[in-house]
Amino acid sequence: MGNREFNKPNLAALFVGFARIGMMSFGGGLAAWTRREVVQTHGWLSEQQFLSGYALSQLVPGATNVNLAVFIGTQMRGVPGALACFAGLTALPVAIVLVAGFLYMRPHGGSMWFSIALSGMGAVALGMNLGLGVRLALNNLRRIGPALVTLGVALGIGVFGLRLPHVLGVMMPISLLIAWFGRSR
């Protein structure tokens, strides 16, 4: 994408954009919706900028998607942008959860319906996250080494049920060696 100029939204656009993300992804799938809104729909960041921000958001303490919203807001409008993105992402979902919790805790509050709704949201979130993973892999895994590392991590955790620290303890050194040998060529 080179020197392409990206849109720089105002604070209201950031708030509304992240309020949409927060409402559309209620129950999960936040990264997929964030990427769609920020990269595809509005063009606020490039794919590479988004992926860099997403990686950084996973490394720092806190909820990854909140960190990502703060990162994007900071990139667009500094501290006011970070506050606008954070407020947009969290305000409406927090209000909905409080109301739903109040209704759920009432006697005869229809807890069966909440269970059904939450099961459906969980399935949607899983599908969205899987779709995002496949899309990002197709766009960014260009060599066999990184693809094999990704496959190894997915199989180790998802299929064989190994613990994350054990899988990463094995796969991180392998990944670093592959990257080192790839750069030395």
Boundaries of domain holding 162? 143-185
pTM of the model: 0.61
pLDDT at 23 over 80: yes
- Answer whether residue 128 is part of any domain: yes
| Burial of 9 (C-beta count, 10 Å sphere; 0-12/13-18/19+) | buried
Q: Token match 């720092």: residue?
A: 60
| 90 and 108 belong to one structural domain | yes
| 128 and 106 belong to one structural domain | yes
Phi, psi of 72 (to 5 degrees): -65, -45
| 92 and 35 belong to one structural domain | yes
| 28 and 89 belong to one structural domain | yes
| 179 and 114 belong to one structural domain | no
| 87 and 147 belong to one structural domain | no
- Answer whether residue 3 is part of any domain: no
| Burial of 73 (C-beta count, 10 Å sphere; 0-12/13-18/19+) | buried
Each residue's pLDDT tens digit, 77-90: 999 999 999 999 99
d(CA 1, CA 6): 10
Each residue's pLDDT tens digit, 95-111: 988 887 777 777 665 56
Amino acid at 151: L
| 134 and 162 belong to one structural domain | no
> Residue 155 has what DSSP assignment?
I
